[in-house]
Structure 1
Amino acid sequence: MQLDCSAVLADVWMMLDGECDESTRARLQHHIENCSPCIEAYGLEEKLKRLLSRKCGGERAPESLRQRLKLEYRRVTIIETRSES
Structure 2
Amino acid sequence: NGTAFTGTNTLTALDAYGNTATGFSAAGNNITVTTTLTGAITGLSGTNKLSSAGDFTSGVANLTSLGLTFTGTTGAGTFTFTPV
TM-score range, shorter chain: under 0.3
Structure holding more strand per residue: 2
Structure holding more helix per residue: 1
TM-score computed with the length of structure 2 as normaliser: 0.27
